[in-house]
Amino acid sequence: MTTPDTGSEGTFCLVLHSHLPWLPHHGIWPVGEEWLYQAWAHSYLPVVDLLRRFADEGRRDVLTLGVTPVLAAQLDDPYALRAMHDWLGTWRLRAEHAATLWGDDETRSDLAAYEYRAAAGALDDFGTTWRHGFSPLLRSLVDGDTIELLGGPLTHPFQPLLDDRVRSFALSEGLADTELRLGTRPRGIWAPECGYAPGMEAGYAAAGVERFLVDGPSLRGDTAAARTVGDSDVVCFGRDLEVTYRVWSPKSGYPGHAHYRDFHTWAGEVGIKASRVTGKEIPPHAKAPYEPARAADTVGMHVKDFVDTVVARLRSLRERDGRKALVVAAYDTELFGHWWHEGPQWLEGVLRALPEAGVHVTTLRGAADAGHVAGPVDLPASSWGSGKDWRVWDGEQVADMVEANTALQRRLLAMDIPRTRRDPVADQAVREALLALSSDWAFMVTKDSAADYARRRAHEHTDRFDRLAAGYATGDPAVAGLAERFRRAAPFGRLDPRSL
């Protein structure tokens, strides 16, 4: 049965955005498949486990979960599933090695045992629950109304910088890919990077999208209700930054507490994060050992702080507006477990404590059904990136990439794609173009996070497109073998470019 709550204080929606660019077959360490497997082990496994337990309890409308098509493709991919199983086995071996090396140090020995239990549990969970991939698990959560699912464009491109035809194609193909995996076509999307340009709501309406998320400043901070956009019936929800930033902001948040596991510090001899944050100015070699029990106590403190923050915010908005309000807090799923080790524990604590505090916890769909929709707003060009504008994806540091992507789209649209039949070369050329247009590459360059890898990936996919398109245009028979080789390492076998 559904957990009872009166909703006397107002309504709260938690939105999680799950996304990684396509990583299989594109390097392993330090950037590449390792990124996928860490996020899978430390975020996706525990978050799905939490949601399955809520489902078993009869809880409905627990949260809104965005899963990008490109991430879903990786979590269903046979190669990635096999490699992930190997990675989990290696994690368990590393924990065993740590227990041997640290046997004379009680604190570290306890940590090795803690790590072993986590690795062994993940390996067992993966070998049973996840053996057929992610989509069967996700489908059960969607069909049982445990969550609301948000979809999105196929490869997570920054939509405002796309040609209208490419934008429409990427979105329709993304929604179709999700429908193929789950049997359900999402009615809501997480627009990549919350990127918006005036008029995009018309394309959303044409694609059957009923709701999407923007950052709070796009609504000038007035996020107490969703709003219809322009002349459309499409609804936008705004992140409440006063609440969201309590957890994680560009400058502070719970994960930086001294007791939590430090993300950046490794015990190199065993490949385990063995330290706690300790202090912002403490060098890695001087950080104190991680103590799970101490961290767990701190989680409880931060659960209470967040619940108090939500309740205070809802009361403040109700006093201002004279009606019950809505608070939407939204984060990357990878924050919970991958970046912030204790994040899944905090997540469960909050989702259990908020109803007990009189807060109605629901999904974006549930909030709309409950009447938290005001009416129309004209949104500005915006994103959730630095400055809340487009500078991360079209700024000076990535001007050459923007120019290259614009030219790539022109060449893509100039292809003479047959209408009456599928052509494997044309199919793969379009896949490569869409992979090149992923928003991740510009983000990584602007933020100087594995910028060389990002530039290499963007160039690689663009070069592959050009080679395939050139061979396709001239009828070169050799290009068929090249397309097949690229296809084996690429997602989206169902992609049909004829609608482009």
Check residue 2 and give its pLDDT. Answer: 40
- Please, which contacts does 477-485 make with residues 24 or more away whose CB atoms are closer than 8 Å? 479/425, 480/424, 480/425, 483/424, 483/425, 483/427, 483/428, 483/429, 484/424, 484/428
Average pLDDT, the chain: 96
CA dist 246 and 318 (Å) reads 20
Annotation marks residue 423 as catalytic: no
Q: What domains can you pick out in the chain, each with its CATH number?
A: 10-152+190-377 (3.20.110.10), 395-499 (1.20.1430.10)
Q: Which of 125, 163, 332, 476 is catalytic?
A: 332
| For range 127-150, the mean pLDDT | 97
pLDDT in tens, 302-328: 999 999 999 999 999 999 999 999 999
Burial 430-441 (b: 16+ CB within 10 A, else e): bbbbbbbbbbbb
Q: If you write DSSP's letter for every residue of 324-343 in order, what string do you get?
A: --EEEEEEEGGGBTTTBTTH
For residue 120, report the phi and psi dihedrals to the nearest 5 degrees. -65, -40
Which listed residue (77, 148, 177, 193) is catalytic? 193
pLDDT in tens, 10-56: 999 999 999 999 999 999 998 999 999 999 999 999 999 999 999 99
In this prediction, residue 459 carries a pLDDT of 98
Tokens of residue 95, six digits: 């924990």
Q: What value does the mean pLDDT take over residues 165-187? A: 97
Q: Among this protein's residues, is 291 annotated catalytic? A: no
Of 181, 148, 145, residue with least CA distance to 65: 148
Give the predicted TM-score (pTM) of the model: 0.96
Amino acid in the structure at residue 105 = D
**pLDDT-derived band of residue 6, with 50, 70 and 90 as boundaries?**
low
Closest by CA to 376, choosing from 225, 186, 240, 242, is: 225
Q: In this predicted model, what pLDDT tens digit does every residue of 154-170 receive, in sequence order?
A: 999 999 999 999 999 99
Express each pLDDT in 53-107 by its tens digit.
Answer: 999 999 999 999 999 999 999 999 999 999 999 999 999 999 999 999 998 899 9
Task: Report the pLDDT value the prediction gives residue 95, as an integer from 0 to 100.
Answer: 96
